[in-house]
Amino acid sequence: MPYVTTADGAEIFHQDWGTGRPVVLCHGWPLNSDSWEAQALFLASHGYRVIAHDRRGHGRSTPTWHGNEMNTYADDLVTLIDTLDLRDVTLVGFSTGGGEVARYVGRHGTARVAQLALVSAVPPFMLRTDDNPGGLPAEVFDAIRAGSLADRSQLYRDLADGPFFGHNRPGANVSQGIRDVFWLRGLQAAHRSAYECVAAFSATDFRADLDAFDVPTLVIHGDDDQVVPFEVGGKASAARIKNATLKVYPGAPHGITDTHKEQLSTDLLDFLNS
């Protein structure tokens, strides 16, 4: 069965496609592993074993009451990698999944890791604080939590129809299907898990985790990302990670796994082959 069991009994669902050197894909909020389907199919078709899991409380994994924070997400990732006995892994994290990857490295090191990639990712630190004045104000994330409590379904509609895919930009043409499936996958997440994950992706400081990166790292970010602004996310991460390679997608929104899926798939394959 496509599940691994964590120390606290949570069942973590995963998809496992292809053969070859392993690539593990960590998804964004409030989605699940299906959000990686374009990249998973492409990379598995080009000689790699691709594993994509549903974070606890998301998709088909156990909707635990506790553990909806980055340390536990990283420990769950350890369980997945160790149970499947994966080695020379390329870890790829999109948005919140980038935080999961960063905390994995900071907490568990890179003994099993060959490469790292951050895509539209939340590190180094999204929240504005006295020592992180370039971050976003707490009111931004308070509004997301309030929207989740008031009408979670409409919150996800509004994100999909607006900033997530850049559909609110003049001339944008993001299909109804792409926007609808974001809403559908979001509602497959447990309410408490999705609510608590807002704090996990926004208020977790990943700066020390990025300092521990010691393998080749690719950072990909759109410069019109309205969810994790480029200056807050990709640009700051690439500047902090030793010898990171930064690839900027001009005019691209947050959800480039869909809007720029061919370019992203090709860039990831080039990185894997490098």
Query: Which listed residue (54, 254, 258, 265) is catalytic?
Result: 254
pTM summary value: 0.97
Per-residue pLDDT at 265: 98
Residue 195 pLDDT exceeds 70: yes
d(CA 134, CA 112): 33
Instruction: Give residue 13's identity as a one-letter amino acid code.
Output: F
Looking at residue 34, what is its pLDDT? Answer: 98
Q: What is the mean pLDDT of residues 241-257?
A: 98
Task: Provide the pLDDT for residue 1.
Answer: 67
Percent of the chain with pLDDT over 70: 100
How much is the average pLDDT of 1-14?
95
120 catalytic residue (yes or no): no
Q: Which of 35, 95, 148, 202 does the annotation list as catalytic?
A: 95
CA distance 83 to 11: 12
Over residues 227-237, mean pLDDT: 98
What is the widest separation between alpha-carbon atoms in the chain? 49
* Beta strands 113-119; 89-94: pairing state: parallel
pLDDT at residue 56, rounded to an integer = 98
Mean pLDDT of the region 114-135: 98
Q: Which of 75, 209, 225, 258 is catalytic?
A: 225
| pLDDT over 90 at 101, yes or no | yes
Alpha-carbon distances of 156 from 25, 36, 186, 265, rounded to whole Å: 22, 18, 7, 25
**Per-residue pLDDT at 147:** 98
Cα dihedral value 108, 109, 111, 116, nearest 10: 110
> Closest by alpha carbon to 62, among 11, 18, 97?
11
Domain boundaries, the chain: 3-273
Average pLDDT of the segment spanning 144-162: 98
| Structure token pair of residue 262 | 């061919």
pLDDT value, residue 143: 98
User: At residue 218, does pLDDT exceed 80?
Assistant: yes
Over residues 82-100, mean pLDDT? 98
Instruction: Please give the mean pLDDT across all residues of the chain.
Output: 98
Q: Establish whether 237 is a catalytic residue.
A: no
CATH architecture assigned to 3-273: 3-Layer(aba) Sandwich (3.40)
In angstroms, rounded to a whole number, what is the distance separating the alpha carbons of residues 218 and 90? 11
Span 177-192, mean pLDDT? 98
- The yes-or-no verdict on residue 161 having pLDDT over 80 is yes
167 has catalytic annotation: no
